[in-house]
Amino acid sequence: MSTTKNDIGNELSARLGLDQVAYQENLSKEELFHAAIAKDRGRVREGGPDDEQKAHATSLGVEGPLVYYSDPSCTGRPVQDTFGVAWPEFEDKLWWKPDFKRFDPDKFTALLERVAAHLNERGATLYVKDVYCGYDPEYAVPYRFVGEYATHALFAHNMFPKGIEGVEDEDGKRWLMLNVPSFRCDPERDGTASERIVALDMKNRIALVCGRADYCGVVKKSMFTVMNYLLPEMGHMGMHCSANIGEREDGAILFGLSGTGKTTLSADPARELIGDDEHAWTGNGVSNLEDGCYAKLINLDKDAEPVIAAALSMKGTIIENVPPLPGKAMEETDPQELDLFDNSVTENTRFSYPLDCNPHVAAGARGPHPETIVLLTADAFGVLPPVSVLSPKEVMYHFVSGFTAKLAGTEVGVTEPKAAFSACFGAPFMSQKPNVYASLLAKKMEENNTRCILLNTGWSGGPYGVGKRISIHDTRALLDAALRGDLHAEGAEYETHPVFNLRFPTSCPGVDPAVLNPRESWEDKAAYDEAAQKLLGMFQKNFEDGGYAELGIEPVM
């Protein structure tokens, strides 16, 4: 990508109406680091003023991380303020839901004009960062971040590929994000739910972020939602998953919600990492949409997560919403001194670092078609088999179900495990309807003779609080067997679960056969049967509520 200052100014004038602003285009990471500390201002504490310093150096200065604080009302994605612009030609294709609601096109056009006028009147300085969504030029989309905070431009630099060669018609494909924390929406005038909004305009390729929506993840997840619309339109599949490659050049994809082991299990020293979160599956194989990682920091065990621990001190990374140490200025604090167990700002403390901070990263963050797909679940009810071998119809059912279970005690009033269903293991970011992704998955699996398992990393012998978590040793052994093809090999023997109709193997190298049948691990068999029937009912209700039968998914449970 080669653009000049005039090119950028002309495009932003034509597409956004910005003609009285100044631009800082494609600054280096060092320049963005210094600009963030000097210029990024806003609210960092409840009831505080809107002109406090948002970004800070540590004792390592520019050779270390940038520490950033988002608005206290936005320490995660503002799901109730996230919309798609409901142009008539997109009305039937987009998957409307509570965390991706319709926004009136006329209201959006008027709002965009007001935001541009606000910036023009202020003579604002905007930071521009040109990156791409995707490593494969066949589908890679040019992404131009334009915003008031240098921190967000630095985040875009960390998280997205740069300099992808061979992308055709870049100007015709380019998406713009206009990110303006200083603008306050008026719900009565603008049609917004509050004073902030995240709105995606698929027709004009604009992501508009206004108000107290300055959590860094908005810069990343908004474009993932966009890509999950664009990729199926090109015949490709967007996936919320991790991916890696073995020594035999055997690819694997691991789908899973938070807490199921997606990142941990994909970080295997015997395999090369393609990525840990967002991918595309095309005719060329699997490739990462990103060039960075955005990891949770709360309660991080540095011994168990040495890659993240080391990256905390690396140049140009971003630590988000980790509190300062009492009585010590951040500028005097070594990043390794920070208390990663302190949730006084938020439970969702985060860390942005480049992909190449990980060891064993696959060249070009790309790999072959997967031999194995793993659907991860952490069943806190303790009733699903540790591993099940899925047929193509079962893959589609469990993929659109996207089941895991939240633990008792993780939310106020939750005294027993709580089922969580998220279609395609990432419903908030799936902008087309679930059957679109399920059909693509089934098609690509058939074309590439890909096998699939449901791997349960949850509990056995009873629910959470009674039973025990399935050991990481057994989980790793089951995963390794699946990756080798042992669980699908000719001659493999299975039992069929009487309640869930799932086939599970009767043996696996390195695993006690008694572990494989979940009912046998419970002392009280009647209690197991009751719990299994209860979870089955939850699956069936979710399937009915989602209208998946009408979308062509067969009810296999």
Q: Looking at the structure, do residues 204 and 278 belong to the same domain, yes or no?
A: no
Among residues of the chain, what percentage have pLDDT more than 90?
Answer: 89
CA distances in angstroms from 215 to 117, 255, 331, 346, listed in the order given: 24, 25, 22, 12
Q: Which of 56, 157, 221, 236 is catalytic?
A: 221
Say what the pLDDT of residue 285 is: 97
Q: Looking at the structure, do residues 272 and 148 belong to the same domain, yes or no?
A: no
Q: Which of 56, 350, 398, 433 is catalytic?
A: 350
Say what the pLDDT of residue 304 is: 81
Phi, psi dihedral angles at 459 (to 5 degrees): -110, 155
| Domain end (from 164, 198, 233) | 233
User: Lowest mean pLDDT: which of 23-32, 295-304, 478-487?
Assistant: 295-304
Phi, psi dihedral angles at 369 (to 5 degrees): -60, 140
Active site residue 258: yes
| 131 within a domain of the structure (yes/no) | yes
**Beta-carbon neighbour count of residue 138 at 10 Å?**
15
| 339 within a domain of the structure (yes/no) | no
Q: Looking at the structure, do residues 136 and 244 belong to the same domain, yes or no?
A: no
| 258 within a domain of the structure (yes/no) | yes
322 contacts 345 by C-beta, under 8 angstroms: yes
Q: Looking at the structure, do residues 409 and 499 belong to the same domain, yes or no?
A: yes
Res. 408 pLDDT band, cuts 50 70 90: low
Q: Which of 40, 130, 277, 474 is catalytic?
A: 277
Active site residue 350: yes
Task: Please give the model's pTM, rounded to 2 decimal places.
Answer: 0.93
Active site residue 262: yes
Active site residue 339: no
Say what the pLDDT of residue 259 is: 80
| 310 within a domain of the structure (yes/no) | no
Res. 266 pLDDT band, cuts 50 70 90: confident
- Residue 33, classed as helix, strand or coil, is helix
Centroid of chain to Cα 246 = 23
Q: Looking at the structure, do residues 478 and 453 belong to the same domain, yes or no?
A: yes
Say what the pLDDT of residue 305 is: 86
Q: Looking at the structure, do residues 437 and 476 belong to the same domain, yes or no?
A: yes
| 428 within a domain of the structure (yes/no) | yes
| 526 within a domain of the structure (yes/no) | yes
Does the pLDDT at position 269 exceed 90?
Answer: no
Say what the pLDDT of residue 402 is: 97
Q: Looking at the structure, do residues 252 and 144 belong to the same domain, yes or no?
A: no
Q: Looking at the structure, do residues 11 and 125 belong to the same domain, yes or no?
A: yes
Among residues of the chain, what percentage have pLDDT more than 70?
Answer: 97
Say what the pLDDT of residue 542 is: 96
Neighbour-count burial for 16-29, b at 16+ CB within 10 Å, e otherwise = bebeebebbbbbeb
Using one digit for the tens of pLDDT, what is the confidence trace for 222-237? 999 999 999 999 999 9
Neighbour-count burial for 360-393, b at 16+ CB within 10 Å, e otherwise = ebbeebbbebbbbbbbbbbbbbbbbbbbbbbeee
Using one digit for the tens of pLDDT, what is the confidence trace for 291-310? 999 988 999 889 888 889 99
Say what the pLDDT of residue 82 is: 97
Using one digit for the tens of pLDDT, what is the confidence trace for 184-226? 999 999 999 999 999 999 999 999 999 999 999 999 999 999 9
Res. 311 pLDDT band, cuts 50 70 90: very high
Active site residue 34: no
Using one digit for the tens of pLDDT, what is the confidence trace for 100-129? 999 999 999 999 999 999 999 999 999 999
200 contacts 222 by C-beta, under 8 angstroms: yes
Say what the pLDDT of residue 492 is: 93
Over the chain, what is the mean pLDDT? 94
CB under 8 Å to 331, separation ≥6 — which residues?
A: 56, 57, 58, 59
The alpha carbons of the chain give a radius of gyration, in whole angstroms, of 24
Among 308, 247, 261, which residue's Cα sits nearest to residue 476? 261
Q: Looking at the structure, do residues 9 and 152 belong to the same domain, yes or no?
A: yes
Say what the pLDDT of residue 261 is: 85
Say what the pLDDT of residue 415 is: 56
- Residue 440, classed as helix, strand or coil, is helix
Q: Looking at the structure, do residues 191 and 242 belong to the same domain, yes or no?
A: no
User: If you average pLDDT over residues 340-344, what whole number do you get?
Assistant: 95
Say what the pLDDT of residue 3 is: 62
Domain span holding position 96: 5-41+77-233
> Which element (helix H / strand E) includes 146?
strand 141-147
Res. 48 pLDDT band, cuts 50 70 90: very high
**Beta-carbon neighbour count of residue 163 at 10 Å?**
9
User: If you average pLDDT over residues 516-525, what whole number do you get?
Assistant: 95
Q: What is the CATH number of the domain that holds 473?
A: 3.90.228.20
Report how far apart the first and last C-alpha atoms of the chain are (Å, whole number): 50
Q: Looking at the structure, do residues 192 and 256 belong to the same domain, yes or no?
A: no
Q: Which of 263, 264, 352, 450 is catalytic?
A: 263
Q: Which of 15, 56, 77, 366 is catalytic?
A: 77
Please count the structural domains in the chain. 2
Say what the pLDDT of residue 411 is: 43
| 248 within a domain of the structure (yes/no) | yes
Q: What is the CATH number of the domain that holds 176?
A: 3.40.449.10
Say what the pLDDT of residue 417 is: 80
Most confident of 376-385, 399-408, 414-423: 376-385
Does the pLDDT at position 265 exceed 90?
Answer: no
Using one digit for the tens of pLDDT, what is the confidence trace for 58-76? 999 999 999 999 999 999 9
- The Cα 45–Cα 52 span in angstroms is 9
| 98 within a domain of the structure (yes/no) | yes
Q: Looking at the structure, do residues 152 and 276 belong to the same domain, yes or no?
A: no
Active site residue 109: no
| Domain end (from 233, 268, 295) | 233
Q: Which of 109, 258, 344, 506 is catalytic?
A: 258
Among 287, 277, 265, which residue's Cα sits nearest to residue 362? 287
- The Cα 402–Cα 232 span in angstroms is 19
Q: Can you name the residues that pair with 83 across neighbouring β-strands? A: 101, 199
Residue located via tokens 């939602």: 225
Using one digit for the tens of pLDDT, what is the confidence trace for 133-181? 999 999 999 999 999 999 999 999 999 999 999 999 999 999 999 999 9
Residue located via tokens 């599956």: 281
Q: Which of 15, 43, 174, 262 is catalytic?
A: 262
> Which element (helix H / strand E) includes 9?
helix 5-16
- The Cα 517–Cα 532 span in angstroms is 13
CB under 8 Å to 126, separation ≥6 — which residues?
A: 18, 21, 22, 23, 24, 119, 146, 147, 148
